Amino acid sequence: MTSRLALALLASVSLTPICAHAQDATAVDEVVVTAQKREELLREVPQSVTAITDETLERIQANDFSDYVGRVPGLTVVGDQPGNQRLTLRGLNTSGISSTVGTYMDETPFGSSTSLVNSGVLALDLDPSDVKRVEVLRGPQGTLYGAGSLGGLIKYVTVQPSTAGFEARVRGSAEQTDDGEGSWGLRGAVNLPMGERAALRVSGMKRSQGGYIDDPARGESDINGLETSALRAAFLFNATDKLTFRASAYVQKIESDAQTGVAYFQSPLEPVAGDLDQFRLFSEKSDITYRIYNATVDYDLGWAALVSSTSWGELEQYRESDGSMAFGLPSFLANDLSQEKFTQELRLVSPEGERLDWVAGLFYTKEEGLIDQEIFFGPPPGSVTGLTARIASDYEEVAAFGEVKVKFSPQFDVSVGARYAKNDQTVDQSGTAVGAGGEVSSENATTFSIAPRYRMNDHTMFYGRIATGYRPGGPNIVGVASVIPPTFGSDTTTNYELGVKTDLVPGVLRLDASVFHVDWQDIQLAVFDGTVTGNANGGSAETQGVEWTATLTPHQGLTFVWAGAVTDTELTSDTDPIVVGGVSGDPLPYSPDWSSTLDGEYEWALANGAQAYVGATWRVVGEQSTAFPGVGGFLYGAQQIEVPSYTTIDLRGGVEFGRYAVELYAKNVGDERGPIAFGNFGQTLPDAPNGEASVLRPRTIGLSLSARY
């Protein structure tokens, strides 16, 4: 469930970029990332970072997380509806209310830092149509990125305006899903130079995605249709050779007609009826809007670059959830959610020096959130029952951070960083389900990182990293007669990591690999008092494993990339059974024991300068456990349920001739339909009090056409 009151009222989810174009090792080296708040070659960054380039995103026909999650070792994505998804890196997940993975769009942090606006299941899922690359930083990023990144960070780096010349591109696609409806999409972008010092870039997209879930009891089919649209404008002004101004505005809407859950028995884990059948009294829609605005000033002082980033972000959601199973008669929860976030960051970045490189900055954010919920009897629009909750929250944080890299020799350097942050929070609640009142909280946090790096030669670099991260605590929502504590504290992670980035055979075989161990203390867990859901601090947990990406280029134009992770997670102390019911040794939710992706592509020249390519991706995800048991077995029964492993195969091929390209693709060629996640989402079939499973989109075959000018 995505909301606090919903849980109560329904009670009685590498290092080397995986590039699409076949290329040699030198080309891979040229990928530049901004993981450490400065531009660096990817293979020089002393931590685990994956960069998925725009070329890859286009070739694999990526629309959202689900299309590229397998290309990032240690990343999982779990959700029951587009836009309503949870991100997990390195297994750091308790299925709580707040997120463990931070998200950025360029210089803008997006999403709530608190648990009071359902941040854990509302991850920013940008359409990648005008994204230059997606950077995924694994492990805590508390030093440079602050609150909420105790598991890692996902950063969308967009295509920037250019004064180099006019550019326009358009891309259209059409596809058909087995046992579902057809889909279509259209994307376009225009770059307009405005003299030698200014440029404007405008891009947009529209996608209509057909449904494939049926509800035979209601006689309805393909109920989970999806409409996504986005518009972006970005402006660049090079005022002088040293002063640059950038501004951007982005809006995206995700309108989903129904959840993607299929009715499943809990034991054995198999469909109640058809493998795409859902049983509810009505469809559950979700409408989500992202708005992201940013102004960035970059001034070269000579001895350092001064960067000022000012951002404003808005998140809005309206969602309806079926409550009929809880109340024994037709009913639904209407959930209105909004969040506004202002951020200001000032930082100084030194130029590349012979002995010392450094970054120092100040950060400020203020967030306002609101959840407005109401239970109705009957199908929408229904009639009010008197069960309501209105939760208004405020979050304010100030922080100072810095990082210094000392170069002891051309072969050896050490980076040391630290961040101090202070936040103040308030919550004001009202309604018949929660009563009136509110709480306040105040908290300090200090995080640090240490990363030694040793270059054995021009082809091999070893690194180590110790880093910490934290997730803010805060005030709780309290029921009319509640046992939920009024406030809860932050939880923290400490990451220990060793890695290597090496060309085993220069130009032919590259390996990027790391081993890690993460200690997680005072983990935040959901608390249910019979009316509402809040947070409490539990015990501890740990994750450890191996992540790798190997790139083989045995012949010009032929590239194989093998990426994967082996992860072991567990609670290291019992949780309070009244809170969650996990015991020491239980695995953390939705962290596969292992996962692996093998991608191969061959590109060759045709006559008249045309290029052709074919490619395939084989992904295997191992067994994983669902969320911890809830109070009295309300959510998942007496123990965690194990979701079996699954395998998918995607195929692609195309021809590029001059400005134009034609591409044919197939996703989930084997038509895998087994469960990839399981939970009790309030499905209403009377003789199946078990739950619903999320399943992969059935086999989908499509064609895309594109043009560039």
Spatial separation of the C-alpha atoms in residues 419 and 421, rounded to whole Å:
7
Spatial separation of the C-alpha atoms in residues 383 and 372, rounded to whole Å:
16
In degrees and rounded to multiples of 5, residue 19 shows phi and psi of -85, 145
Could you report the per-residue pLDDT of 577-609, keeping only the tens digit for each?
Answer: 666 677 889 999 999 999 999 999 999 999 988
Read off the tokens for 486.
Answer: 């009024």
Residue 216 CA to its chain's centroid (Å): 33
- pLDDT confidence bin for 326, thresholds 50/70/90: low
Report the candidate in 169, 165, 162, 159 with the shortest Cα–Cα distance to residue 708.
169
Do 172 and 207 touch, CB atoms closer than 8 A?
no
- Check whether 631 has a pLDDT greater than 70: no
Read off the tokens for 443.
Answer: 């908290």
Do 522 and 573 touch, CB atoms closer than 8 A?
no
Residue carrying structure tokens 């249709």: 225
Q: Report percent pLDDT > 90 for the chain.
A: 69
Query: Which uninterrupted H or E stretch holds 391?
Result: strand 383-407
pLDDT of 25: 33
β-bridge partners, 286:
256, 319
Any idea of the CA torsion for 666, 671, 677, 681, to the nearest 10 degrees?
Answer: 100
The rounded mean pLDDT for the chain is 89
Spatial separation of the C-alpha atoms in residues 134 and 53, rounded to whole Å:
7
Do 313 and 341 touch, CB atoms closer than 8 A?
yes
Spatial separation of the C-alpha atoms in residues 677 and 265, rounded to whole Å:
13
Do 146 and 328 touch, CB atoms closer than 8 A?
no
Q: Provide the residue ranges of all domains of the chain, joining segments of one domain with +.
A: 4-210+221-408+441-708
Q: How would DSSP label each residue in 625-677?
A: E-PPP-GGGTTT-SSPPEEPPEEEEEEEEEEEETTEEEEEEEESTT---SEEE
pLDDT of 380: 75
Read off the tokens for 73.
Answer: 């070792």
Q: From residue 550, how far is each of 18, 59, 443, 592 by CA, in Å?
A: 10, 20, 43, 20
The Cβ of residue 360 has, within 10 Å, a number of other Cβ atoms equal to: 16
Largest CA distance in the chain: 77
Query: Which uninterrupted H or E stretch holds 185?
Result: strand 182-193
Residue carrying structure tokens 């990027």: 512
pLDDT average, residue stretch 298-309: 97
Read off the tokens for 169.
Answer: 């591109």
Could you report the per-residue pLDDT of 647-703, keeping only the tens digit for each?
Answer: 999 999 999 999 999 999 999 999 999 899 887 654 555 444 568 899 999 999 999
Read off the tokens for 9.
Answer: 């009222």
Higher-scoring residue by pLDDT: 389, 312: 312
pLDDT of 29: 45
Q: Which of 363-377, 560-574, 672-686 has the lowest mean pLDDT?
A: 672-686
Buried b (16+ CB within 10 A) or exposed e, 470-502: bbbbbbbbbbeebebbbbbbbbbbbbebebbbb
Residue 122 CA to its chain's centroid (Å): 9
Spatial separation of the C-alpha atoms in residues 587 and 626, rounded to whole Å:
9
- Check whether 129 has a pLDDT greater than 80: yes
End-to-end CA distance of the chain: 46
Q: Report percent pLDDT > 70 for the chain.
A: 91
Read off the tokens for 552.
Answer: 């083989």
The full length of the chain comes to: 709
| Residue range 4-210+221-408+441-708, CATH number | 2.40.170.20
In degrees and rounded to multiples of 5, residue 212 shows phi and psi of -145, 0
Could you report the per-residue pLDDT of 193-226, keeping only the tens digit for each?
Answer: 999 999 999 999 999 999 999 999 889 999 999 9
Q: Which of 189-203, 408-422, 469-483 has the lowest mean pLDDT?
A: 469-483
pLDDT average, residue stretch 548-560: 95
Do 13 and 1 touch, CB atoms closer than 8 A?
no
Do 86 and 121 touch, CB atoms closer than 8 A?
yes
pLDDT of 381: 75
pLDDT of 634: 44
Residue carrying structure tokens 């200001």: 344
Which amino acid, one-letter code, is at 77? V
| DSSP code, position 374 | E
Higher-scoring residue by pLDDT: 28, 558: 558
- Check whether 6 has a pLDDT greater than 60: no
